[in-house]
Amino acid sequence: MKSRSRSRRGFTLIEMVVVISLVLVLLSIALPMYNQSILRAKEARLHQNLKVLNDVIQQFSLDKKKAPQSLQDLVDAGYLKFIPEDITGAADTWVTEPEDPQKAWNPDEIGIASVHSGSNEASSEGSIYSSWIR
């Protein structure tokens, strides 16, 4: 009787294959959902960074009665601690839009009116990141 009970202790090869297959099926379902959630988090951060940068540009312009000449001016004046990262993961890829010369604070010194992403990649919604304003 002892020899009979010892031979039934382990798993068979078929049981192991079934378990591994189930784990692989679950991973194939979960991995795309995980990757999508990471992408949406990056896009949410981009929306927030765009809003903050454009709001700070407006606030700087109202306070100083002139538009900033660069994003670094916002940091130097204490409006930001640092320039936030673009969706690309770098802070130097932002594209600045100049003021309208007719509506500029100082027509001789045209500054930044707004900022948008420098990435030409498509978002999860299908639009291009560089077309996002806020």
Q: What is the DSSP letter of 84?
A: P
Count of structural domains within the chain = 1
Secondary structure (DSSP) of 14-79: HHHHHHHHHHHHHHHHHHHHHHHHHHHHHHHHHHHHHHHHHHHHHHHHHHHSS--SSHHHHHHTTS
Higher pLDDT, 20 or 10: 20
Residue 68 located in a structural domain? yes
Residue 4 domain flag:
no
For residue 90, give its domain range: 12-131
Q: Measure the CA–CA gap between 126 and 103, rounded to whole angstroms.
A: 33
110, 99 contact by CB (below 8 A): yes
Q: Does some domain include residue 6?
A: no
- 5 belongs to a structural domain: no
Could you give the CA distance from residue 115 to residue 95 in angstroms, rounded to a whole number?
6
User: Which pTM was predicted?
Assistant: 0.75
Residue 82: band (very low, low, confident or very high) from pLDDT cuts 50, 70, 90: very high
Please check the confidence at residue 1 and state whether its pLDDT lies above 60: no
